[in-house]
Amino acid sequence: MSENGVLLKGWGLRLLAIGLWALTSVVAFLEILTVREIAMRVYAHFAVTGDLFAREYWGGQTVGVGAAVIMGVLCVGIIIAAGEYHMKHFGQPRSWRLFGRTIAFELSILVLALFI
Partner 1 sequence: MKRWLEWLRPHVQDGAKIMLLLFLAVAAVLYGLHVFLAVLHRYPLDYGEAPLVDQAIRLASGQNIYRADLSSPPYTVSNYPPLYPLALAPLVKLFGPSLVAGRLVSILCALASAFFLAQIVYVPSQARTASLTTGLIFLAFPYVVGWSKLARVDLLALAFSTAGLYAAVRWPATRRGLVVSGLLLVAAIYTRQSYALAAPLAAFVWLWTHDRRHAIALAVLVGGLSLILFLVLNILTGGGFFFNLVTANVNEFRLDQLERWLRDVGQAIPILLVLDGVFLFFAFRRAKSWSLVVPYLIGALLSALTIGKIGSNVNYLLEFSAALSLVAGAFLVWSRERPWLHSAALLLLALQVGFLMQATLRGPVESLKWRIKQPKRHFTGLEWIVESADGPVLADEFMGILTLQKEPLYIQPFEVTQLANAGVWDQTPLLESIRRREFPAILIHHFMGYPVYQERWTSEMLSAIVEDYVPIDFLADTIVYRPRDAETARPVELDACADAPWRLATRSELGMWWFSRHLFFMGEGYENTVPVYAVADGLLTRRLDWRDAVAIQHDDPLRAGEKVWTFYGGMASGRSDESFVAPGFPPGSEGVPVKRGQLLGYQGQYSARLGTPFWVHLRFAVLPPAADGSFPADLVGLVAEEERAPDRTEDARPLDPSPYLGTVGSNVMGYLEWMPLQCQTGTP
Task: Count, in order, helices (H) and strands (E) of the chain.
Answer: 3, 0
* DSSP assignments along 38-76, one per residue: HHHHHHHHHH----TT-TTHHHHHHHHHHHHHHHHHHHH
Half-sphere exposure of 114 (CA within 13 A, CB side): 4
Interaction residues for partner 1, span 44-73 (CB under 8 A) = 45-47, 49-50, 52-53
**Under rule CB under 8 A, residue 109 binds partner 1:** yes
45 or 58, CB closer to partner 1? 45
How near is the Cβ of 18 to partner 1 at its closest, in Å? 19
How near is the Cβ of 105 to partner 1 at its closest, in Å? 6
**Under rule CB under 8 A, residue 103 binds partner 1:** yes
